[in-house]
Structure 1
């Protein structure tokens, strides 16, 4: 059973709604084109139209994605950069998105996460507690040098 073939105009309308709902990266739009059953030769024209009409903007996507993951999930720069690379976002857009974070606020967020995790592991031995806290922060995508400084700061207190 085959899906009904959409005309390029129908696909464009669908994708306008898709992009208007939330910011999308180019790779997500290409995947959606395949899902809609649009011929590959028509992809470039549709994507070009979406960009011209400002439905699709990679830089805007990167800023929104990075800001959201940092604010809502408290991810670090390393994880955000990795995820944006997975979505085939350009290095220029990634770097611009990562520059939006206030350095002082970023370090405070890291310190709060470190304090919370360290306090949670109260029953553990000193070295186990330190390692688990550091592993947790690495998994969250924070830079190793900042993690080391934050954990050492907790231990000094």
Structure 2
């Protein structure tokens, strides 16, 4: 482990932003990847800007087109499904955590193709089934179900996927 932090205590002091530099930094922050208002508020809080000043900056980001909750929800759902192989339940939970409205969550979930979704679930089921070393089939089945529920897939689809790879 490095001792750099012990020798340089200033490393841990976070530099707060001034209101002037905050707008430019936020534009860069939002241009890098899609963000939601919750993430921007959190970033502002970390940098020492709160209350009315933070809300004004967030409002400016919306006006200038750097923030768009629907665009964020669509991008988030697409990315988490394709890259992390998350199911709809997990994506919904994460979007709710970020204070995205239910209507926008539905818009985001509409980005996921149902056929691609089930194919992904089947692939994930097969991979987990092969990796699980449990001898008892009942326990093995439950371990696979637990894993897939944790990934956010729906219980009925999980049962369907398991039956298609392992007929009873």
Equivalent of 1:133 in 103, 119, 144: 144
Q: 1:6 offset after TM fit, Å?
A: 4.2
Aligned to 1:83: 94
Correspondence for 1:120: 131
Q: Cα distance 1:135–1:16, how it changes in 2: closer, same or farther (>3 A)?
A: same
3-state SS of 1:88 partner: coil
Structure 2 SS opposite 1:151: helix
Q: Tell me which stretches of 4 or more aligned residues in structure 1 moved more than 3 Å.
A: 1-7
> How many angstroms does 1:10 deviate by?
2.0
Classify the secondary structure of the residue corresponding to 1:146: helix
2:55 counterpart residue number? 44
Distance across 1 between alignment mates of 2:19 and 2:135: 60
5+ residue gaps, structure 1:
none
* Alignment CA distance shift 1:52-1:118 (3 Å): same
Offset from partner CA, 1:25-48 (integer Å, 9 cap, x none)? 111111111222224222222111
User: Number of residues paired by the alignment?
Assistant: 157
What is the aligned counterpart of 2:158 among 147, 150, 156?
147
Query: Is residue 3–residue 37 contact of structure 1 (8 Å, CA) maintained in 2?
Result: no
The residue that corresponds to 1:35 in the other structure is 46
Of structures 1 and 2, the one scoring higher in RCO (CA 8 A, sep 6+) is 1
TM-score in terms of structure 2 length: 0.85
- Residues 59-89 of structure 1 deviation map (CA, whole Å, 9 limit, x = unaligned): 1111111111111110000001001111111
Tell me if structure 1 keeps the 8 A contact 2:77–2:112.
no
Match of 2:67 among 50, 56, 66: 56
How far 1:3 sits from its partner (Å)? Answer: 7.0
RMSD, aligned α-carbons? 2.0
- How many angstroms apart in 2 are the aligned matches of 1:80 and 1:144? 15
Match of 2:23 among 12, 35, 53: 12
